[in-house]
Structure 1
Amino acid sequence: MMNDVIFSHMGNLANLSRSKTRSITPENMNGEKAGGARAEVGEGSASDSNDVLGKGWKVNPYIHVKSGEIATIAEINESGTIQHIWMTPTGHWKHLILRIYWDDQAYPSVECPLGDFFANGWQDYGQVNSLTVNVNPASGLNCFWPMPFKKCCRMTVENMGDDQLTLFYQITYAVGDVSDDVGYFHAYYNQSRPVLKGDVHTILKGVKGWGQYVGTYITWQVNEDGWWGEGEVKFYMDGDEAYPTICGTGLEDYFLGSYNFDAKFCSATKKGYQAFTGPYAGMPQVIRPDGEYMANQRFGLYRWHVPDPIRFEEDLKVTVQSLGWRKGKNSWGHRYAQRQDHVTSVAYWYQTLPSVKFPELPSKDDLEIVGQETVHFR
């Protein structure tokens, strides 16, 4: 009975495979068999800490990425699957851009500020304990989305910031055949700062191909008083135009909560926004004004469609409304009011190649979190 429980939660973990595990780090930049810990003292990034122990004792554990530089951190020229990415970077996470290229496609399938990709979009550490993304003290960024590829993979990090950064990383992957029916992992960043009146925030649009949508990460800055999460998350798929096939009942409902994430609706002793983090959904960041320089409430939320992927055959668009309440004459004494909050998002999905080239990312200044431009992880 215990084995049945374990296997039902861990899938095919007990099934043996002829795939070969490899790992890329600054100590083994090509992921070669027996290729680790070969850096020579004097050439590695930590040589000044290794004047006694010598080769094989942590000579090159990190890289430096200069301002304006794009560093290639992985280049794999055979079929396989990325299984785990771990990073801990210094610098401003909005100004570090992660890109991943699959097979022979000239443009990336993943293009996203590093913090947002790992569900930490506020340049302020928030612990995440989910099935696919873990963020742990003090800045351990982990991704467990499986990422198969048939020919090759290239992964880069661009430093848009003004200062040189230090990057520790490890990319673990399996080398082996990939079946024809798997999709390629994609992640797209977008922002509305603010959501304009009469408009909605677009999480994803322009997707063409066959695939399945598997996750959403959102940051939300409240620019007006009152509840901000009444908006519906809508999925337009396979030719939908004016009306979506999937239309949710509210933002907190989509992120698997209810009633404003406010415990006062069901508790005699608790009230206010309750941060939470779980396998498939969470609101790990509730950042409150400090009465000095932090003027707005800020939230970070994720929803992983792991047990319930949203499948499409031809095309997909995803939007969310910026919607709240004002006083009115309905049964609750309120009526809907459109808001103009700041919203950013990352959409995660799998699809066939070729995929559509993403729009250009916002500029460095437009990506910057105003008021936190001097905050750096180090």
Structure 2
Amino acid sequence: MRRLLLPALLAFAGPIFGQSTFNGVESNLSNLYRLSPARSRSISPENFNGAKGAGGKATTGMGAGAGRDLGQGWKISPCVTIKAGQTFTVAEIEGSGSIQHIWMTPTGNWRYSIIRFYWDDETTPSVEAPVGDFFGMGWGQYAPLQSLAVCVNPGSAFNCYWPMPFRKKCRITMQNIDTKDMILYYQVDYLETQVPSDAAYFHAQFRRVNPLPYKTNYTLVDSIQGKGQYVGTYLAIGVHNNGWWGEGEIKFYMDGDTEFPTICGTGTEDYFCGSYDFDTQQKMADGHTESRYTPFCTPYSGLPQVIEGDGHYSVSQRFGLYRWHITDPIRFEKGLRVTIQDLGWRADGRYLPLQDDMASTVFWYQTEPHAAFPKLPGKDALEVN
């Protein structure tokens, strides 16, 4: 009898794990009626270890004052405080299973809250990124983002739906590198279940260069070693020049490619599934027409964030873009390196290599062990100002 191990994977199972079915059963809306031996669990401040029958038992917590007349079971522990400079364990799960959904709404500076994931017994993280960038909000400001893998909802509700299988253990931490305390509301929904032998581990890596040196390609990732598939790119670009900034080509160097890549894009807006500078003609209130950037969100790609200068101290234009390779994962056998050009136009019609603020978080699945990540930039180098 076939078993439905991870029913909530939905459309992700086939593209990510390299098959149209997961353990012999399709994962989509058509099979949600199928029974499964998997057990649903959830970790939150109301149930720190996800134990069965242990939710809502707190008698102390940040809601104790508000619930003093109601007592146990009445939202006594809805959130936690992470002190300045401290690291908090969001979740620690023993055994095999898969994270299905994460929701959180962190206060404070999103670049100064570092989220990390550790699979099984590894000592270095497979995921390391500022929490804002991990959820597609690299500029510290809310913007609505609706996609299959990540959703950001009013007012600062971060959600991700990347399936994250593990075989022995999962540990998730949040480090507050700010000088101020932060408050974290969170929920980690997961399954206790067996994981198939061909399931790879989820990874995410953050990088930032500001400014990018002249005539230098921006490296999204260059240290992937092993077999797997690249499944997503989030890019936060702070533009330092006037004019259009998105002519650069993205390049995927696979399995020993050296000077030239196997996959080469045709432009930044093309890679993020847009066209012609993301411009549309918009009719203004006084009747005239302007060409403007147009934010958009789709299941697989989007430009959810367009921050325009105010003509005073906030003069820079800033953009946030995502591209999820859910139906078209970039598969590699031995390793992968990914770069993108920062390219605009000169006044005489020639290309202009730009020197913008480039920050990225990339997402992939691979076999373990993974190669060491570059050292995360320090607090000053992470700052958005």
Would you say same fold, with TM above 0.5? yes
Letter in structure 2 aligned against 1:364: K
Structure 2 gaps, min length 5: 1-10, 12-25, 283-287
**1:191–1:201 Cα contact (<8 Å) kept:** no
Supply the distance in 2 between the matched residues of 1:12 and 1:200 (Cα, whole angstroms): 45
> What are the superposed Cα offsets for residues 28-79 of structure 1, whole Å, 9 maximum, x if unpaired?
0000000100111xx2221111111110000101001000100001000110
The residue number in structure 1 matching 2:180 is 163
Q: How does 1:94-113 map to 2 (within 5 A)?
A: 94-113=111-130
Alignment equivalent of 1:223, drawn from 206, 225, 240: 240
Q: Is 1:348 matched with 2:363? A: yes
Alignment equivalent of 1:82, drawn from 75, 81, 99: 99
Supply the distance in 2 between the matched residues of 1:186 and 1:149 (Cα, whole angstroms): 12
Supply the distance in 1 between the matched residues of 2:30 and 2:149 (Cα, whole angstroms): 15
Alignment equivalent of 2:55, drawn from 36, 56, 75: 36
Supply the distance in 2 between the matched residues of 1:197 and 1:89 (Cα, whole angstroms): 36
Secondary structure of 2:269's aligned partner: helix
**1:256–1:281 Cα contact (<8 Å) kept:** yes
Supply the distance in 2 between the matched residues of 1:275 and 1:11 (Cα, whole angstroms): 32
Supply the distance in 2 between the matched residues of 1:291 and 1:270 (Cα, whole angstroms): 18
Q: What is the percent sequence identity of the aligned residues? A: 52
Supply the distance in 1 between the matched residues of 2:300 and 2:29 (Cα, whole angstroms): 15
Q: How does 1:191-206 map to 2 (within 5 A)?
A: 191-206=208-223
Q: Is 1:15 matched with 2:30? A: no
Q: How does 1:167-316 map to 2 (within 5 A)?
A: 167-264=184-281, 271-316=291-336
1:179/1:11 CA distance change after superposition, 3 Å = farther
With normalisation by structure 2, the TM-score equals: 0.90
**2:217–2:342 Cα contact (<8 Å) kept:** yes
Letter in structure 1 aligned against 2:71: G
Q: Is 1:125 matched with 2:142? A: yes
Q: Is 1:336 matched with 2:351? A: yes
The residue number in structure 1 matching 2:15 is none
Secondary structure of 2:180's aligned partner: coil
Secondary structure of 2:292's aligned partner: coil
- Provide the aligned C-alpha RMSD in A: 1.5
Shift of 1:263: 1.1
Supply the distance in 1 between the matched residues of 2:186 and 2:105 (Cα, whole angstroms): 6
Secondary structure of 1:47's aligned partner: coil
Supply the distance in 2 between the matched residues of 1:152 and 1:204 (Cα, whole angstroms): 26
Secondary structure of 2:291's aligned partner: coil
Supply the distance in 2 between the matched residues of 1:11 and 1:81 (Cα, whole angstroms): 21
Letter in structure 1 aligned against 2:67: N
1:67/1:20 CA distance change after superposition, 3 Å = same
Count of aligned pairs between the two proteins: 356
Supply the distance in 1 between the matched residues of 2:327 and 2:69 (Cα, whole angstroms): 51
1:144/1:168 CA distance change after superposition, 3 Å = same
**2:227–2:333 Cα contact (<8 Å) kept:** yes
